[in-house]
Homo-oligomer: A and B are copies of this chain.
Amino acid sequence: MRLALLGGTGDFGEGLALRFARDTDHEILIGSRDPERAREAVTAYEDTLETHGASGSIKGFTNEMVADRADIVVLAVPPYYVGDTVDAIADKLDGDTILVSPAVGMKRDENGMHYHSPPAGSTTELVANRAPAGTPVVGTYHNLPANTLADLETEIDFDTPVVGDTDAVQMVISLTNEVEGLRGLAAGPLANAREVESLTPLVINITKYNSELDEAGVKWV
């Protein structure tokens, strides 16, 4: 399977790329608006994997090119770029390509982070509204700490809720569970995306007020 990480040069894209490349046999495609940056990121990720005695298949191209080739496309971009990113790749999506939305709209104030959803109700639903009709859309990975993912020395044991159409959710959960220490948990259809996205500001707030939980994740027990 080919897994594309759009905005794959950012911290979160790096974490996902390293974990998926190390722990699965899938081909990881790093997308960026600038293909040169994507290729530089691939070189850096390959170096990191080698340092940890690991390897994997990673390639870098433009966002459009990786979306064209991939079976699953993760929109690892900031929430305010999500809509434009979907527009940019729209004509590369066939009805089978699964779009995965991990972005969360938030506002920070002196107390902490607060959930701030777009008019669509959630960023995941915004993606579903902007994508071509019939595109399977899944919301997940919102609550995973980027730096912990990117640090391959750290053994993880994290859950991540997954919302969307049942078949696409099951496919993304299967893929997610191939990564050591990650478990996807079905959380219902897209209409439940708000509740899933709202977990992220809570995780950040708990990190802010409990320094020992910096870069922690959440587990259902």
Contact = CB atoms under 8 A, between A and B. Distances in A.
B221 A216 contact: yes
Interface stretch (A63-71, A132-140, A199-207): A199-207
Interface stretch (A41-49, A77-85, A92-100, A183-191): A183-191
B199 A109 contact: no
Contact of A112 (B113, B157, B188, B209): B188
B188 A195 contact: no
A194 interface: yes
User: What's the interface size class on A, roughly?
Assistant: 35 or more
A194 B114 contact: yes
Contact of A115 (B113, B194, B201): B194
B213 A185 contact: yes
A192 B115 contact: no
A185 B212 CA distance: 11
A114 B158 CA distance: 23
A216 B192 CA distance: 19
B188 A209 contact: yes
Interface in A154-209: 157-158, 161, 185-189, 191-192, 194-196, 198-199, 201-203, 205-206, 208-209
Interface string A12-28: 00000000000000000
6 contacts: A161-B202, A188-B208, A192-B205, A199-B199, A203-B220, A217-B220
